[in-house]
Amino acid sequence: MKRRTFIQSTAAAAVGTQILGGVPLKAFSPKDLDGLVQAGDDNILIVVQLFGGNDGLNTIIPVDDDQYYAIRPAIAVQKQLAVPVVPGRLYFHPALDPAGAYNLRRMFDDGRLAVVQGIGYENPNLSHFRSTDIWLSGFNTSDPDRRLIDGWLGRYFADHLPDFPATLPDHPTAVQIGGSLSMLLQSPKGDVGIALTDPDKFFQLGQGLSPDLEAMPGDTAYEREFNFVRLVAEQSDRYSSVVKEAFDKGRNTLQYATNGFVRQMQLVARLISGGLKSKVYMVYMGGFDTHVQQQNDDLTGLHPFLLNALSTGIGQFID
């Protein structure tokens, strides 16, 4: 299967066209989310998490807001330097439109990218850790006594897979590229996905990991921990061969860049092209807690570097 063919059925290519400010956009609707649990379709959602808190105002530039320039005299992107994606309406940081690469600007022009602004929640928590938990869990609470332990996507799948975890699907429901599973993919019934960085090592570690053990029926602390470990072992054992087979069958048909984020996208593309039927993939970029390294007067710095990597990484994956 060509990369363009399978990308057309993913969330990035989306179904259904909407109009925003006269501009045609692709949209991902709740109906499409329901399709993620249907085994017979090719709908895929890829979640990209930007660790550290991306500076949204220096990503999508409010060029006509005087307060933006008054409050940010040192790091604001001047209007004449911002990229007029939709003149008078929507402006990108120049790093999102690097020359010579298929990128987020070109995706927007092709109707393959939607920009949704004004997303947030009341009384934002200023803690990196708690605010991340709020976003991943879907619960807006700063109460330190309220533990946030599962994610909105994990709960969604747990509700729509009634036999989980007693009966596991043939392929992992979700795959996170990384060392440990995000709260986003955790549910009251257990983890609804697996985390890996290297399919070969995952295969070696997973083989024979799960003896024939039944889940314990009670809800004591011991029984919960036992069931958690048993589920992790069973999923690792079951899915290590499936992931390895897809990785071996898959192919990357272009030369990707060498940064860590792009390598994650490259692995996702290879697993999909190899036939892995997972409905969700999760990748991440770190470093967005930029502080004084954010941006220089010439629009160089850590934040432009990260935006460039993000834009070209997604662009290479989609193109």
- Between CA 252 and CA 3 the distance in angstroms is 8
Least confident segment among 41-50, 108-117, 229-238: 229-238
Pairing relation of β-strands 193-196 and 174-177?
Answer: parallel
The pair of three-digit structure tokens given for residue 160, joined into one six-digit string: 């729509």
CB 28 within 8 A of CB 14: yes
- Between CA 164 and CA 193 the distance in angstroms is 12
Least confident segment among 71-75, 99-103, 218-222, 281-285: 218-222
Q: Could you read off the pLDDT of 150-201 as tens digits, one per residue?
A: 999 999 999 998 888 777 788 999 999 988 899 999 999 888 989 999 998 8
Tokens 């070209």 belong to residue: 312
Mean pLDDT, the chain, whole residue set: 83
Least confident segment among 29-43, 117-131, 297-311: 29-43
Q: Is the pLDDT of residue 98 over 90?
A: yes
The pair of three-digit structure tokens given for residue 150, joined into one six-digit string: 């599962």
pLDDT for res 61: 97
Give the burial class of 104: count Cβ atoms within 10 A of its Cβ; 0-12 exposed, 13-18 middle, 19 or more buried: buried
Mean pLDDT of 243-261: 84
Higher pLDDT: 117 or 307? It is: 307
Host domain of residue 187: 3-318
Sort residue 98 into left (φ over 0), alpha (ψ -120 to 50) or beta.
Answer: beta
pTM score of the predicted model? 0.80
pLDDT category at 8 given cuts 50, 70, 90 is very low
Higher pLDDT: 309 or 17? It is: 309
Total number of domains in the chain: 1
